[in-house]
Structure 1
């Protein structure tokens, strides 16, 4: 069970029992390289006492841990400040400069005015804030040909004196791996990650003090093509979209105990070679590694690099801004052992991980020097037990047969292992050929990686099928967070599709802490917005033309995703920085459609619907209204009252035009499709007096199709939410619990462990769907998670009190479910909702974080029969209001854990 009853603690008379935990700066724990001049600090409060809240805080910020431990705030002392703010407190002390290490701690005063104890200390470091702080220069092996191996670069240097600290700042045009004295620096994969490289390149900051020593040292780097110079699906595909030369920029700053600063940087003294073991490594195609070309000790001192060439050095750093990475790094988060090994053909072996994952493998092997072993990766098997590869699509790469395929050429050592460097795969199965002997299960391990944002939510219920759907959705979500929110992780696409992101963003925020991730990606969106306001369909947008821009639903993600991030994380700075951009898109659509019916040339659609087509203008106009309303909401939050009135008026005018154009007097909407009704109701395009009628027409449209879904990725989750919202919750439950195609249950019945792109991706007796577009790891239909958390578990966020400062618990109890449990880790702490039904009695256990309040809706109007912890709810500590409604009772509560019991 997720719920546990509150415990009783003995409180000190002098100190509050409220504790301060989870100190973060710009959403990250102890981050390195912050390049924001006024970083924001946040913390979480813990207490078992009901009604607890913060009435004041004091933050101390020091230049050393020693000072902080002595309560000496030489950088900033906020003094005791009467406020309940515990998120996004802006630093307001002495000016922060490049390279500074900053230490801080917090204490708070509770509801009785008693001070708590100081938190444990936390820290952040500043990055390189000015361009002139970069003394390093870009270096490359300028004349690398297409048939050569990936470049490696190195430098040796001497350090006299004991090393006090060492900080490495690094980035690349391409991807990089850096090693110092034989050891890999950091756990990052695919650094510096994907941005709009023409505008912005991220750098990473590492503390490498422990990797260096007095005397001779060596630093080495290997570069990969990645998104910068590798293949990108461009219709037709292209390579070297951002550039062809792989370049490295490194600045290593070492301080010794005599306070001397030693600077090791990329310059003309570095050497490079193209004779290394990584022959090719492409995100789509895979990697070829020739172990015979390994250099023993190349990343250690005293290596003979006489055959290596001098690098080419650029004089200037270029036009793209160098910015610190402030989103969670891509790194390995878990390992998975295979569950089965088969031999469908002689000498061909297939491993089954039992779970569709994103990452690569580590494989132990042996073989004569020159033996080539091939590894193919994908998500499904052919009927003969070999790996199914057809849905990876041919034609993206010069070698049409090379898709998600790695090759390892043995060096003849007694024990070898293979693990790639600059590629990744979406797969459950691995097919190995050329090995020459029968491997064992223990020879292979799956290495799962993605942008390493932490989990923030969990859902469970009495229906095991629905639990598997939640797990599938979260697996698909994690696997498609690869610096940007990709559509799929396996075929020749993997772009940051914006429509898919705005569809999944509610579910994604319930499931994972994506505040830093969205902050980074929203900058990518803004960087590639066109001058006339059009957003691209995916970001980063590497195309040189506008052929995939301005599509409704996809472009509207440029407004919907930032606003949703604000609702979940209360990040006012985010929407302040983005407001001009968001307004630009709405203004563009308005200019092109002065009559307010969106008839633009480029339309988005309810992709992958199965018969429930929505008219293009209907679909686009709905999103036009939605975006105009969101811009008005942004303006209100920012105090821009003129803009708020302007865009609210525009939104209302679009709604009126929509109703005139597409709604008949009897409530039938143009097209009469499930998705059309869901979209119009979800976006509040229907006049209040018509909502019930239109909702009835929605259900009639479903009945006309025998209750079978016809919706696509943009409206399926909206349909479920609107059914529940408008009195048809049982219908929504029936859809979600179905095992007939099209349904999530059908996918699970076919063995799915992630969400499929198509409802009919594989049908027994029919086979696979259209190979041109048939991913088995596509998170869009996973947006059903929003309905699970919001309607079943009842955790509702309130946009007027973002980040769950105030929220609602409104579960829909019953409807063929015996119990539901869920939690969401908000910025203020864990929110829990857990209910169960036994006969005519029900219980609802909740947790409300310290410093927040909640409205709880109990599904009975007989308030006098509602008990809390064994007594009348209205008499319970922490309950401020009990009010009977038409069919429910509203109970307003302060922070704490509560146990409600009532008749149903």
Structure 2
């Protein structure tokens, strides 16, 4: 049978609070036989699960629709606010057998302005407490808001929903307990255009009689320190936090009660005396207000709030996975330095916070926790944090057991120094990031390469927090566009980042100016200038990637006008089609080492690439005249590139690895010069004794281009390299995440400049896409969308004896792996129902190819077997297969 699974509504499983008027409902397939496919499907929707079995009570019924589509867009009656919809998908396979079914649900949020009665509330500025500690620039510390509102319910409700958000970051409370498990909500968006609200099911937390709704609200990205600006960002957003919430309570008799933020709320500071994402959190437990969020019947010590704003503003329901604590890491070592001072090593560079248990501390005992990624001569290396203090302080209430865990800050660290606490600290690290499902795996026979994959994955966890940031530890943490576009293919191998990127792309588009220029970062903060080449091009490249990888047509359609505007902006200011004007800060191949790629070579190459993508996107969206125009533009840019930068001998201006990689990857060379350019590239690598010179942009292309042009031997040599500069060099020197720069620390030079030296920065980890796509072999054809037509090309080489990868796609699970032993290669693959695959088996003797121990051509699901450049190409229907063939080693297959 063929079965549906992995049901999603707008990228998410069972989303609570959805504001899409026409949501997309999707599913994946699995089967227990080969050549399985979906032949038809039917979607039904009802108010209750039991109603799905009663045709008279259905709210939407697609009827049986023939086809292999695994997504349907709602075209039923208008969705109602705050309503749960249960849905079922039934599928019949290609033989008409079925149906097999699966169920899910989604719940709408508040869809209309009239649904909101809440207003923004905050602290009266005249009551701003002046408390220690002051910040470095002597601004007064600002305790977070601690808000409460008591209310009565006549009976126990049957349903309760809390809709809440903040200008700042918040934690909701109800009847003495925390609501939900979301962290740092509502996240960071282009607040002038969108503020996300969250929806919580609080039914089980409500009671008949007296109740209390509360919240703690800190500055966060709204009014705290963001980026490397020495000031709080009041000039961008606001100068103080505020809160907006609406609790909707339904009773069995059909009545409803709404408790919303208004002038009737009260507030007072609590034990958190200061909290900032960059600087840290200061908690004085002596100032705790016991029972402040419980129904005490008294507001003693609290003061009235003020109404900041009566207009809810540009509220949107949170569209992707929120930030959560996803795991705990325990220390691997404690290093006692002096009495009461211990450095704790968690063994992994991570992003999050610590939870510290304090026993029998004296009242007023101040425990100071500092964070660092690396050590310098056994002590915390803090210089690279720049203005970020990354320091948390806990002042004990005294006596008994106390637990300290900051709530409104986040740090990048492997090590913490705990001061003024005797003995071995009882501490764990709590890992935070947007809770995108990590459903891809890669592993191989080489422990160094496995560590590289681990470093890549941990870098993704740490930097996918609200935005795809550049670094999680210093005073920056901005959503740099180029970093995101070069890493997006790797990110989508490791995890389902469809919703995360689709949401962030709205900030990218909102940052575009009237002339069509994107910005270097999104949301726009600290750097309000035209984007550089490859940075601004992210606004074109990422929407196209979401289409190719996830089949996300909505994200492509939403971004398409801005994609066209960006390319037109470049063309307008560079009529000779060499991109030399209006290049922003023009970073070039950022942080390349021992080489300098000419900036106009790089920029013009990206100009051609973006024009090509616009043409392809226009074709997909049915804008055929636009496609023709931009395909012609791309051809003209290519001609200009060849005329200006390509020599008759296949050299590219600058003769750098990145220059050759761009020309080869973006098809900017005459066909008769491709081989010569590959040889120039290879010669540069060989003369450097198998070392790279590529920076952020070139490194993503390095191994793929070499492998695709017959030099997999060089790609593997670079992968295994352990001398500087290389991935292996950082790993050999203790890296557990990807470093920002190849020379972040070297044996010959020590630490690089602290002005810019992150030890957790995913950009140079973009090689991860190649590990999945060529080392293990999972790819798709150039015309495929959503892995409908797989291209499986396992590539043995280097010192590997086996490699395998698996990833979840929008169609189902795809896997590919290989191993070599005793003169034979074994290749295992999994193709989801409805997909097809071309599998290239690297063999020295095509006649020896077998599947399941029998001649491959005779096996079910194997459609054709024919010779290819790799050895044998096999066309496959869906299913799981195990092939074997003669194999004489990678060297015989490289050229």
User: For residues 171-210 of structure 1, what are the structure 2 equivalents within 5 Å?
Assistant: 171-210=165-204
Matched, 1:266 2:261: yes
User: SS of the residue aligned with 2:207?
Assistant: coil
CA distance in 1, matches of 2:874, 2:748: 53
| Residue in 2 that maps onto 1:406 | 392
| Residue in 1 that maps onto 2:574 | 593
CA distance in 2, matches of 1:711, 1:30: 43
Counterpart of 1:229 (choices 209, 223, 226) is: 223
Query: Deviations for 1:161-195, whole angstroms, at most 9, x for unmatched residues?
Result: 23110011101101111100011111110101000
| Residue in 2 that maps onto 1:256 | 251
Deviation at 1:702, TM superposition (A): 1.9
| Residue in 1 that maps onto 2:406 | 420
Matched, 1:357 2:350: yes
CA 1:72–1:340: 2 relative to 1, 3 Å: farther
| Residue in 1 that maps onto 2:24 | 40
User: SS of the residue aligned with 2:874?
Assistant: strand
Question: Quick check: 2:40–2:94 contact (8 Å CA) kept in 1?
Answer: no
Query: Deviations for 1:522-554, whole angstroms, at most 9, x for unmatched residues?
Result: 0111111111111111111134x733x221111
CA distance in 2, matches of 1:719, 1:269: 62
Matched, 1:281 2:266: no
Matched, 1:131 2:125: no
CA distance in 2, matches of 1:899, 1:496: 43
| Residue in 2 that maps onto 1:612 | 595
Deviation at 1:765, TM superposition (A): 5.4
| Residue in 2 that maps onto 1:8 | none
Counterpart of 2:550 (choices 569, 574, 585) is: 569
Matched, 1:68 2:59: no
Counterpart of 1:243 (choices 234, 238, 255) is: 238
User: SS of the residue aligned with 2:172?
Assistant: strand
Counterpart of 1:452 (choices 420, 435, 438) is: 435
| Residue in 2 that maps onto 1:295 | 289
| Residue in 2 that maps onto 1:19 | 3
User: For residues 831-846 of structure 1, what are the structure 2 equivalents within 5 Å?
Assistant: 831-846=814-829
User: For residues 742-761 of structure 1, what are the structure 2 equivalents within 5 Å?
Assistant: 742-761=725-744
| Residue in 2 that maps onto 1:643 | 626
Query: Deviations for 1:143-178, whole angstroms, at most 9, x for unmatched residues?
Result: 164434211111000011231100111011011111
Deviation at 1:371, TM superposition (A): 1.3
| Residue in 2 that maps onto 1:327 | 320
| Residue in 1 that maps onto 2:456 | 473
Any unmatched runs of 5+ in structure 2? Answer: 129-139, 888-895
CA distance in 2, matches of 1:799, 1:573: 21
User: SS of the residue aligned with 2:87?
Assistant: strand
Query: Deviations for 1:559-589, whole angstroms, at most 9, x for unmatched residues?
Result: 1111111111001111011100111111100
Query: Deviations for 1:449-501, whole angstroms, at most 9, x for unmatched residues?
Result: 10000112111111110010001100001110001101111011111111110
CA distance in 1, matches of 2:57, 2:790: 36
CA distance in 1, matches of 2:399, 2:482: 49
- Alpha carbon RMSD of aligned pairs, Å? 1.5
Question: Quick check: 2:433–2:464 contact (8 Å CA) kept in 1?
Answer: yes
User: SS of the residue aligned with 1:802?
Assistant: coil
Question: Quick check: 1:814–1:837 contact (8 Å CA) kept in 2?
Answer: no
| Residue in 2 that maps onto 1:341 | 334
User: SS of the residue aligned with 2:197?
Assistant: strand
Question: Quick check: 2:804–2:817 contact (8 Å CA) kept in 1?
Answer: yes
CA distance in 2, matches of 1:415, 1:236: 38
Moved over 3 A (4+): 69-73, 144-148, 234-239, 860-864
CA 1:606–1:324: 2 relative to 1, 3 Å: same
User: SS of the residue aligned with 1:648?
Assistant: helix
Matched, 1:557 2:515: no
Deviation at 1:834, TM superposition (A): 1.2
Matched, 1:381 2:366: no
Matched, 1:581 2:562: yes
Any unmatched runs of 5+ in structure 1? Answer: 1-16, 397-401
CA distance in 2, matches of 1:195, 1:409: 33
Q: How many residues align?
A: 871
| Residue in 1 that maps onto 2:708 | 725
User: SS of the residue aligned with 1:280?
Assistant: strand
TM-score (norm 2): 0.96
User: SS of the residue aligned with 2:348?
Assistant: strand
Query: Deviations for 1:839-874, whole angstroms, at most 9, x for unmatched residues?
Result: 321111101011211111122375432111111111
Question: Quick check: 2:539–2:559 contact (8 Å CA) kept in 1?
Answer: no
User: For residues 776-815 of structure 1, what are the structure 2 equivalents within 5 Å?
Assistant: 776-815=759-798
| Residue in 2 that maps onto 1:14 | none
Question: Quick check: 1:567–1:797 contact (8 Å CA) kept in 2?
Answer: no
Deviation at 1:41, TM superposition (A): 0.6
Matched, 1:856 2:850: no
Query: Deviations for 1:372-410, whole angstroms, at most 9, x for unmatched residues?
Result: 110000111121x221111111xx3xxxxx611000111
| Residue in 2 that maps onto 1:653 | 636
Deviation at 1:705, TM superposition (A): 2.7
CA distance in 2, matches of 1:403, 1:429: 14
